[in-house]
């Protein structure tokens, strides 16, 4: 009886890693097909890993699509701009797919895919809102604060210009929507109509 309990415990413990391994292996297999899944917030660390994959895939075959599946609540602006720059630099087409919740920086990445290759699932929820750019103010003088605000304004204007270019919306419309105090939620049809995606899957 004692030995049986030990075996049962061993079987139970070994089953959990096996399930986790199968779950992990599914992502590994998809990564070999040049598919990247984003299911976390955008951070500096995440951006480093994602851009490394983009550069690797581009080096492997600059003519074959890279697919990015996006299910994220958003995150750091510097991180998303880092990813955006690499997407624009590489030669490989980047297909973006919005699924689940595609909020803030996630919506920005969705629209940054290659034109004609930006997709959204029928029940995905996309959200855009006032851009939240922030970093610690170094220094305490009024000149320091003025420099901070000027930099903040430059970053915001750059983001708005990028969004206008990729959505086809006028800069005035983009400024109106992305300086609103309210979050703007879009369903799949509205996402395509806005220009954040090209097709509904």
| Active-site residue (options: 72, 104, 164, 166) | 104
Question: Is residue 1's pLDDT more than 90?
Answer: no
For the chain, the residue count is 201
What is the per-residue pLDDT across 46-91, written as a single tens digit (0 to 9) for each? Answer: 999 999 999 999 999 999 999 999 999 998 888 999 999 999 999 9
Angle at which helix 142-167 crosses helix 171-178, to 10 degrees, equals 120
For the segment 127-164, what is each residue's pLDDT rounded down to a tens digit? Answer: 998 766 555 555 566 656 677 778 778 888 898 999 99
> CA 189, 125, 154: angle at the middle one, nearest 5?
95
Catalytic-residue membership of 164: no
The single residue of 10, 12, 26, 129 carrying the catalytic annotation is: 129
The two three-digit tokens of residue 81, written as one number: 């701009």
User: What's the pLDDT at 154?
Assistant: 85
Average pLDDT over residues 188-194: 97
Phi/psi-derived region of residue 139, left when phi > 0, alpha when psi is between -120 and 50, beta in every other case: left
Ordered alpha helix ranges (H), the chain: 2-32, 44-60, 77-89, 105-111, 142-167, 171-178, 188-194
> Of 35-39, 169-173, 179-183, which range is least confident?
179-183
Q: Per-residue pLDDT for 2 more than 50? A: no
Q: Where does 33-132+180-200 sit in CATH, by number? A: 3.90.226.10
């Amino acid at each position: 009886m004692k030995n049986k309990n030990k075996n049962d415990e061993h079987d139970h413990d070994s089953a959990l890693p096996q399930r986790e391994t199968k779950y992990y292996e599914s992502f590994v297999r998809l990564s070999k097909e040049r598919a990247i899944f984003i299911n976390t917030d955008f951070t500096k660390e995440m951006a480093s890993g994602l851009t490394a994959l983009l550069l690797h895939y581009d080096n492997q075959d600059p003519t074959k699509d890279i697919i990015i599946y996006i299910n994220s609540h958003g995150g750091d602006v510097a991180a998303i701009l880092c990813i955006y720059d690499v997407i624009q630099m590489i030669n490989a087409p980047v297909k973006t797919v919005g699924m689940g919740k595609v909020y803030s920086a996630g919506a920005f990445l969705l629209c940054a895919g290659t034109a004609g290759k930006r997709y959204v699932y029928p029940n995905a929820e996309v959200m855009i809102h006032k851009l939240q750019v922030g970093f610690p103010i170094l220094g305490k003088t009024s000149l320091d604060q003025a420099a901070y605000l000027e930099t903040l304004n430059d970053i915001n204007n750059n983001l708005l210009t990028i969004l206008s270019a990729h959505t086809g919306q006028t800069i005035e419309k983009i400024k109106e929507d992305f300086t609103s105090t309210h979050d703007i939620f879009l369903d799949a049809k509205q996402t395509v109509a806005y220009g954040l995606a090209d097709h509904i899957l």
